[in-house]
């Protein structure tokens, strides 16, 4: 059975000859949270850009319902002239959802991501963590069935990042979307996912896959358990192998 998002031998060679992706095959099913780790420049963003149709793969097939994709970029890409509430409303506006329905949805997700009280602030008044929450909320408004994350917390300090990890996991359990998450951080990958994929350097291909056995909801204390450290170690070793 094909997943909500499925890659079938997807490869990408840019017009300038750069071969960014060398044949990726995997599925992401609803209720799965798959994380991709890999050296920078190995084609991780390209993978997401293909999934969302921002880029067209030169090889293979990528299957996904394009109308139900949420995409969270590394920078929050909030529109600075809109307040938090107005930013969160944006995508619903672009999709022609009517005003009453939009207001209702915005109110719900603002509570969900913990931005109550910040509705009328402008992005320049927000910290990095708050901006990322608003960015998440903006996508959540469209109730995506497939959620793509391109290193969303990479620029945040560790404490904020861990807090947002927990909040995103809570949303994942609540909404049951199919998640595809890119990160540089191995512990973030293991903490969040049902499965961790390791990509080799360019042209990126999946060289290792680790099922993560821990039950959801995951507690913060999991990060200090030996079996957690052990799995992180295995991913790290695979990643080192992928670098050569």
Partner 1 sequence: MTDLNSQVAVTPPSSRRPDDAPIETTNRVRASDIIGPAVVFVLFIAFWYALSTRLLPEQKRFLLPTPHKVLKEGFFTWEAGEQRGLFPILKSMWSSIQVAVIGLIITIIIGTALATAMATRRWVERATWPYLVALQSAPILAMTPLIRALIDGVQTQRILVVVLIAFFPIVNNTLFGLLSVEKSQHELFTLHGASKWTRLTKLQFPAAMPNIFVGLRISAGLSVIGAVVGDFYFRQGGVVGIGAQIDIYRGRLWGSELIAAILLASAFGLVVFIVFGFLSKLAIGKWHTTTRGQ
Ligand X SMILES: Nc1ncnc2c1ncn2[C@@H]1O[C@H](COP(=O)(O)OP(=O)(O)O)[C@@H](O)[C@H]1O
Contact positions vs Mg ion (CB under 5 A): 45
236 binds ligand X (CB under 6 A): no
> Smallest distance from the beta carbon of 55 to Mg ion, in angstroms?
12
> Smallest distance from the beta carbon of 40 to ligand X, in angstroms?
4
44 binds ligand X (CB under 6 A): yes
Spatial CA neighbour of 13 closest among 4, 26, 22, 3: 22
For ligand X, the binding residue among 20, 57, 126, 180 (CB under 6 A) is 20
Q: Which residues contact 158 (CB under 8 A, 6 or more apart)?
A: none
Q: What is the token pair recorded at 34?
A: 């798959």
CA distance 21 to 223: 32
Measured from the Cβ of residue 85, the count of other Cβ atoms closer than 10 Å reads 19
Residue closer to ligand X (CB basis): 31 or 154: 154
CA distance 235 to 224: 16
> Smallest distance from the beta carbon of 39 to ligand X, in angstroms?
7
Element (H, E) at 206: strand 206-211
Farthest-apart Cα atoms in the chain, separation: 55
| Angle of CA points 40, 179, 78, to nearest 5° | 70
Q: Which does 195 bind (CB under 5 to 8 A by kind): ligand X, partner 1, Mg ion, none?
A: none
Q: Is-contact 30 190, C-beta < 8 A?
A: no
Residue closer to Mg ion (CB basis): 42 or 106: 42
Q: Is-contact 26 170, C-beta < 8 A?
A: no
| Residue 136-175 contact track with partner 1, rule CB under 8 A, x = bound | --------------------xx-xx--x------------
52 binds ligand X (CB under 6 A): no
Q: Binders of partner 1 among 113-132, rule CB under 8 A?
A: 118, 121-130
For ligand X, the binding residue among 11, 43, 129, 179 (CB under 6 A) is 43
Residue closer to ligand X (CB basis): 16 or 98: 16
Residues binding ligand X (CB under 6 A):
14, 16, 18, 20, 38, 40-46, 202
């Amino acid at each position: 059975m094909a997943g909500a998002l499925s890659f079938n031998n997807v490869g990408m060679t840019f017009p300038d000859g750069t071969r960014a992706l060398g044949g990726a095959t995997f599925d992401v099913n609803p209720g799965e949270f798959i994380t991709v780790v890999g050296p920078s420049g190995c084609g991780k963003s390209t993978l997401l850009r293909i999934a969302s149709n921002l880029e067209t793969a030169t090889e293979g097939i990528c299957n996904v319902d394009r109308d139900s994709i949420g995409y969270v970029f590394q920078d929050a890409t909030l529109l600075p002239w809109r307040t938090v509430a107005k930013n969160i409303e944006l995508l619903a506006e672009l999709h022609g959802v009517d005003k009453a329905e939009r207001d209702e949805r915005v109110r719900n997700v603002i509570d969900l991501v913990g931005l109550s009280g910040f509705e009328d602030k402008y992005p320049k008044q927000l910290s990095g963590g708050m901006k990322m929450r608003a960015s998440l909320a903006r996508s959540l408004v469209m109730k995506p069935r497939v959620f793509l994350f391109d290193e969303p917390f990479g620029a945040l300090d560790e404490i904020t990042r861990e807090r947002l990890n927990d909040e995103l996991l809570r949303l994942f359990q609540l909404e049951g979307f199919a998640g595809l998450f890119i990160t540089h951080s191995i512990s973030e990958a293991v903490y969040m996912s049902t499965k961790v994929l390791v990509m080799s350097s360019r042209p990126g291909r999946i060289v290792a896959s680790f099922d993560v056995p821990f039950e959801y909801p995951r507690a913060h204390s999991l990060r200090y358990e030996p079996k957690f450290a052990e799995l992180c170690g295995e991913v790290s070793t695979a990643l080192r192998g992928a670098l050569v």
